[in-house]
Amino acid sequence: MTQTPATQTCGRRCVRATVNHSGALFDRHRDRVFRYSLRLVRSPVEAEDVTAMVFLEAWRRQARVRLVNGSIIAWLLATATNVARNRLRSAVRYQRMLNKIPRPDPAPDHSTHVLDELASAPVRRSVQDAFHGLYHGDQEILSLCVLEELSAPDVGEILGIAPGAVRARLVRAKQRLGHTLDIDSLTVPSGETQ
């Protein structure tokens, strides 16, 4: 069946009118497009994305939408196929790109080394005794800054003091802890160097 220019014009007007009422178009065809999309992709979430993109394309490309036997559903389903294929191609390209990136070597965690050194009971006991021998304020500042790894502004907010005061107290607390510890009597586990 050949279309006359009048029929083509009416068809374009009908498409624009249909797409301009995109809420009604979406309500009428979304379930069918979703079910079709779900057969094309792997998950309901992806099918929802494809469905949304189909209706976005219908709105964006109003002038190119073609009615088949007066219905837009054929165009919507064909667009769903194209959108799903594009998503698959994008996913494949993305995975190839990720596979080309060299995986980083895991960096050794220095805390493991420190814990190993402190694992011996005499060393741990000496550090704990020295820590507990400090004033409460020194224990608090060391706990928050060193053990909890909070920033000076955060610790200052907790303690109600300025960040500069936090830094000064931290330096003094570390010095007092160092003076309290008998560094020469601490032994390093065998196989390790100081």
Confidence (pTM): 0.45
Rounded CA separation 84/90 (Å) = 10
Tally of CA atoms within 13 A in the half-sphere of 56 that contains its CB: 7
Q: Where are the domains of the chain?
A: 5-100, 110-185
Q: Does domain 110-185 have CATH number 1.10.10.10?
A: yes
Rounded CA separation 137/10 (Å) = 84
Backbone angles phi, psi at 8, to 5 degrees: -65, -40
pLDDT value at residue 193 = 44
Counts of helices then strands in the chain (DSSP H, E) = 9, 0
Q: What is the DSSP letter of 63?
A: G
> Both tokens of residue 64?
């190119």
- Topology (CATH level 3) of domain 5-100: Rna Polymerase Sigma Factor; Chain: A (1.10.1740)
Rounded CA separation 190/102 (Å) = 36
pLDDT value at residue 9 = 42
Backbone angles phi, psi at 30, to 5 degrees: -60, -40
pLDDT value at residue 118 = 61
Residues (pLDDT < 70) of the chain are 1-22, 114-121, 182-194
pLDDT value at residue 50 = 96
